[in-house]
Amino acid sequence: MSLERLRTDILILGSGGAGLFAALHALKANPDLEVTVATKGLLGKCGCTRMVQGGYNVALNPGDSVERHFMDTIEGGKWLPHQELAWTLVSTAVERVRELENEIGCFFDRNPDGTLHGKAFAGQTFDCTVHKDDLTGIEIINRLMEQVWARPVRRLEEHRAVAFIPAADGALAGVLLIDIRTGAFRFVAAQAVLLATGGGPTMYRYHTPSGDKSMDGLAMALRAGLLLRDMEMVQFHPTGLLAGPDTRMTGTVLEEGLRGAGGHLLNGAMHRFMGDYDKELERATRDVVSRAIYAEMRAGRTTPNGGVYIKMGHLGPEKVAKQFKGMVERCRDCGFDLAGGLVEVVPTAHYFMGGVVCRPDTSTEWPGLFVAGEDASGMHGANRLGGNGVANSTVFGGIAGDVMPRWISANGGHRAPDERVLDAELARALHPFGCKPGNLNELREKLLDTMWGEVGVVRDREGLDRGVAALDAIEAELLVTGLADEGRAFNMTWHDWLNLRSLTEVSRVIALAARKRENSRGAHFRSDFPEPGDLASSRFTVARQTAAGLDITDAPVAFTHVRPGETLLDKVAAE
């Protein structure tokens, strides 16, 4: 079996906001280091940074403060965030946005007088979201990728990471990858590795993230025995497009602003149902609206494809077409009239708050491994604020790029990989070619339905038990479902198989963490434990794969900046 061996100083997995910022900062910190970015798709073109619509939360404007941004993040996260991580996020965001504008070349929307425009966004007490229309992510990632291309960064595009490889003494030696274009394996030895593949809960029937995402990074971290935190926390967006079966359009997000602007949600009987659930009607928070839609669906009051309708036409189709140009055009291209007609929508899995446990300097418990972006955890707690996603990836990606060169000069050196682990991981990735071809599509459908039905918007003990049992069965079936070995070059079906394995493994952790949390916080709702529980004694879940199985425990949140019932804003006002 062919295995090419490469050597680099810093290996970055992922080319979103986190990965690209890390590359730029690492080269700036030490231009003598060789930096390699490996990414599953094309550099900067896969993943979700590019898909950011809303914008970037940052306390830049006069009258705003990082304390205000911090309190919104903590309150939004239902007191579960790791407060040092959240503080690092909000306080570093200021410099990061200036860097994006002044050094990377992003141009964010201005007020008429030329100052930076901050827009209002859900869950924020100040209009602090910096943006470029509703296509902020494209501006950020396009400018970042240009900067990376312009520098001597080694690019491994269409390379899928499959495993961390330790040295014989357990230290990190490097990463095993598959070159998707040729189907060949590459082992990349590195002194430091950044995990920045982006989470992305694509194991749900309805999901918004980029279609290439499959939680590979977290599956690798799990197998390496790393601590994972907040794994029950899956954020659902209330309005994903529902276009029926066999279309990749289904699940893609219709923006928050449609409800904010006065859009109505109607059930299959054309009843505007939000009044039955919340006095804020359609403008209630994402979690409340998602649960209301889910309840209508469970009660069978649905549209032909099994969701509800969003209606904008009463606001004036021309006005809607102007205000929401991008959304209206996207719907039109796909055959739907958002401006004047009814469009079917459904709650859709949007963002994963859980991930690898890390410190504010992005280091993990495994020396030499760093983590940033959606693969990391603790910044958002039980819920991520809109506008904190791209802030998170760029802030911590940049920090990782600052920190890794320093770490290398103090601890660096390449380590020889444990050849037995390397062999085992190669065999693991080739597993499907040794089995009789079977029905992968049916298994994918089963996984999507299991996670949606049993581990989704509303959870309870019985459903979670059923979910765990179903996931075990899916995994067992996957392991006897093979592929014909008819060429491994750009073999997407092989990668579908590997995607399913990653997703199934991470799904089980989600289900078990959800079973562990016997209360309802933010994105996690248990119908058998609907109360949030005592905030002052809040605990977060921790998961680890051991030789004996999955170990799920919890630990107390440390209120190092502010305690429930307190605020930092009094202090700011007093100063």
- CA–CA distance, 109 with 30 (Å, rounded to integer): 33
Query: Min. distance of Cβ 536 from other proteins in angstroms?
Result: 38
Select from 25-33, 237-245, 510-518, 531-539 the region that touches other proteins (CB under 8 A): 237-245
Which amino acid makes up residue 547? A
Q: Are 240 and 258 in contact (CB under 8 A)?
A: no
User: Any contact of residue 109 with other proteins (CB under 8 A)?
Assistant: yes
Among 14, 16, 76, 137, binds other proteins (CB under 8 A): 137
Among 126, 167, 211, 435, binds other proteins (CB under 8 A): 211
Q: Are 481 and 435 in contact (CB under 8 A)?
A: yes
Residue 454, judged by CB atoms within 10 A of its CB (0-12, 13-18, 19+), counts as buried
Please tell me which residue in 68, 159, 237, 524 is annotated as part of the active site.
237
Tell me how many residues contact other proteins (CB under 8 A).
64
Select from 141-149, 268-276, 423-431, 559-567 the region that touches other proteins (CB under 8 A): 141-149
- CA–CA distance, 230 with 379 (Å, rounded to integer): 10
User: Any contact of residue 486 with other proteins (CB under 8 A)?
Assistant: yes
Which amino acid makes up residue 148? V
| Nearest CA among 109, 85, 113 for reference residue 97 | 109
Which amino acid makes up residue 437? P
What tokens were used for 454? 């049993």
Site for other proteins in 255-294 (CB under 8 A): none
Going residue by residue from 443 to 482, which x/- string records binding to other proteins, judged by CB under 8 A? Answer: ----------------------------------------
Residue 79, judged by CB atoms within 10 A of its CB (0-12, 13-18, 19+), counts as buried
Which residue number, 489 or 555, has a Cβ lying nearer to other proteins?
A: 489
- Whether 259 sits among the annotated catalytic residues: the reply is yes
What tokens were used for 351? 């963002």
User: Any contact of residue 63 with other proteins (CB under 8 A)?
Assistant: no
Residue given tokens 């950011």 in the structure block? 52
| Nearest CA among 400, 415, 354 for reference residue 12 | 400
User: Any contact of residue 337 with other proteins (CB under 8 A)?
Assistant: no
Among 491, 499, 520, 541, binds other proteins (CB under 8 A): 491
User: Any contact of residue 113 with other proteins (CB under 8 A)?
Assistant: yes
Query: Min. distance of Cβ 415 from other proteins in angstroms?
Result: 32
CA distances from 129 to 70, 121, 294, 351, 387 (A): 14, 7, 29, 18, 6
Which residue number, 136 or 364, has a Cβ lying nearer to other proteins?
A: 136
Query: Min. distance of Cβ 96 from other proteins in angstroms?
Result: 8
- Whether 526 sits among the annotated catalytic residues: the reply is no
Give 448's contacts (C-beta < 8 A, 6+ positions apart).
203, 204, 205
- CA–CA distance, 489 with 298 (Å, rounded to integer): 44
Site for other proteins in 162-181 (CB under 8 A): 181
Which residue number, 119 or 561, has a Cβ lying nearer to other proteins?
A: 119
- CA–CA distance, 455 with 510 (Å, rounded to integer): 8
Select from 80-88, 109-117, 162-170, 415-423 the region that touches other proteins (CB under 8 A): 109-117
**3-class SS letters over 469-481:** HHHHHHHHHHCCC
Please tell me which residue in 159, 205, 207, 259 is annotated as part of the active site.
259
∠ at Cα 499 (496, 500), nearest 5°?
A: 90
Kindly state the DSSP code that residue 102 receives in the 8-state scheme: I
Query: Min. distance of Cβ 250 from other proteins in angstroms?
Result: 8
Enzyme catalytic residues: 237, 259
List interacting residues with other proteins (CB under 8 A): 41-42, 45-47, 50-51, 60, 95-99, 101-105, 107, 109-110, 112-116, 135, 137-139, 142-143, 146-147, 149-150, 181, 210-212, 243-249, 252, 330, 333-335, 440-441, 483-484, 486-487, 489-493, 496
